Structures are given as structure tokens and as C-alpha cells.
Amino acid sequence: MSERANPVRPKLTHGALPFAKQQLGIVMALLLLLIVSSFLSPRFLSLPNLLNVLRQVAIVGILAIGQTFVILTAGIDLSVGAILGLCVVLFADILQALTHDAQLLAAEQHALDRGERSSDVSALRAQVGQEETRGG
């Protein structure tokens, strides 16, 4: 009689259970925070407040989506946040000196151009760094 030996099956959930518990804990803490905040302030879950939060997160969300694609294509460039900060500071600095609405458009274009140049320089540095590590 030949007995078939049970093959050893790898456990797929070896590291998944602690990770799931950690993620569930984060979600539960967020829900608890939402419930407590909604009881403390009746305006917390109001439409104007939620729209305000969405407006504040929009720029960071758009940058995060773009950064995700950059990282997925192995072109890791972590200077996106610094370039955004540079554009905002330049725009605010130029805005202080403005007196007319026509100058506002020029200031916005100037800040965006500076940001684009900074981004180009950052991308060029990253490309040169990648070529040097490849030995080329």
C-alpha cells in the first residue's frame, strides 16, 4: 500500500493576521475619533465642514496620485512636496507686492514656471544619479 504524503502547504496568512489587526485598530481609532468629534461639535459632520476638509486635502491628494505613478514607474522623485512648498512661498511673496488683478495672473504664472524649472532640475539630477549607479 502506498500512502500519499500530505504535501506541506505554505501558510498564506503568516504575516497577514497581525497586519489586518493593525489596520483594523487604525480604522476603529478613526471611527472613535469621528464619533467623539461629532458629539462635541454639531457642525463637525455638516456639509460645509466636510467640503472645507475636501478643499484642504485636494492639492495634497492630487500630488499623492501623481507621486504614486512616479514611484510605480521606478522614477523615485521625492522632491514633489518641496517643489510645491517653493511654489507656494514664491506665489505668496509675489502676491504681497501686487496691487492689480492683472498682476495676479503674471504672479501665478511666474510661480508655476519656477516650480516647473525646479522640477526639471530635480528630474535631471535623479536621472544622472541613476546613470551613475548603473555604471553608465
Better-scored residue on pLDDT, 15 or 79: 79
pLDDT class for 123, splitting at 50, 70, 90? low
**Ordered DSSP codes for the chain:** --PPPPPPPPPTTTTHHHHHHHHHHHHHHHHHHHHHHHHH-TTTTSHHHHHHHHHHHHHHHHHHHHHHHHHHTT---TTHHHHHHHHHHHHHHHHHT--SHHHHHHHHHHHHHHHHHHHHHHHHHHHHHHHHHHT-
pLDDT class for 120, splitting at 50, 70, 90? low
Domain boundaries, the chain: 18-75, 77-136
Percent of all residues in the chain with a pLDDT value above 70, rounded to a whole number = 65
Q: Which pTM was predicted?
A: 0.48
Residue 39, pLDDT > 90, answer: yes
- pLDDT number for residue 33: 93
